[in-house]
Amino acid sequence: MNQGYNLNWNKIKVVIFDVDGTLYTQSPLRKKMLFSLLSHYALRPWSWKDLLILHHFRAEREKKSGIPCKNLEDAQYEWCASKGNFPIPRIKKVVDYWMFNYPNKYLTGTMYPGVKTFFEALKQKNIKIGIYSDYKAVDKLKAMGLQADIIVSSTDKEVDNLKPNPRGLFYITEKLKVQPEECLFIGDRQELDGQCAIQANMPYLIVDKKPFKDFDFYNILTQQLVKNKTPTPQPVG
């Protein structure tokens, strides 16, 4: 578990989750996607530039993390287009299929052990569940069979900022009418999720980096929650 100050579950009203790398492991998913992409485009060499589109779309988003911009939903495609003079309609079609739809069928098999049980325990304790991802997450949650009280993406017009800008976390607290210190944010990247929580003055946890078969992060959290024991998130600030 993460080391830091103690957190009293009795004071937590909302647990907010990142999605990619937080609710499911990315390594096996990436292997499956790589195989699917290579198999698909090996038979369609005339469309190989689609692979460049996927690369630049991700890379440009990473470069722009935390940088204020207007209309992020459109800007992300414009960033990609500028790297290879790709038509924006083609970018949207490729990204929508390969990033927002195709991988979803693999999510159930790559979910971290204990995720569903932890979600159920939170609901039993009347703790609300929020989702904050840099990418669209509604379909991913449906694919995993998970339900949340609020699902927010960085591209939502009310947020319009990539992590570690804390606007997404503030938006969730505003909608659920809670204070940041009454929430717990769980993510997988210190430089994005951790810093986002720090800027929001919100307690947070970074998921343990353990092999999938040894991953017990959510099982431990569930035990602590049910027994009303104190978990130990990263210190804020």
DSSP for the chain reads ---SS---GGG--EEEE--BTTTB-HHHHHHHHHHHHHHHHHS-GGGTHHHHHHHHHHHHHHHTTT---S-HHHHHHHHHHHHHT--HHHHHHHHIIIIIIGGGGGHHHHBPTTHHHHHHHHHHTT-EEEEEESS--HHHHHHHT---SEEEETTSTTT---TTSTHHHHHHHHHHT--GGGEEEEES-IIIIIHHHHHHT--EEE-----GGG--HHHHHHHHHHTT----PBPP-
Q: Extract the tokens encoding 208.
A: 């343990």
**Structure pTM?**
0.89
pLDDT tens digits for range 39-94: 999 999 989 999 999 999 999 999 888 777 789 999 999 999 999 889 999 999 99
Residue extents of the structural domains in the chain: 9-24+111-226, 28-106
CATH 3.40.50.1000 fits 9-24+111-226, yes or no: yes
Q: Residue 122: CB partners within 8 Å, gap ≥ 6?
A: 15, 128, 129, 225
pLDDT tens digits for range 3-34: 333 568 889 999 999 999 999 998 888 899 99
Q: Residue 184's beta-bridge partner residues?
A: 15
In 3D space, the residue among 237, 234, 62 whose CA is nearest the CA of residue 163 turns out to be 62
Instruction: Tell whether the model's pLDDT for residue 128 goes beyond 60.
Output: yes
pLDDT, average across residues 131-152: 96
State residue 65's pLDDT score: 85
pLDDT tens digits for range 113-126: 999 999 999 999 99
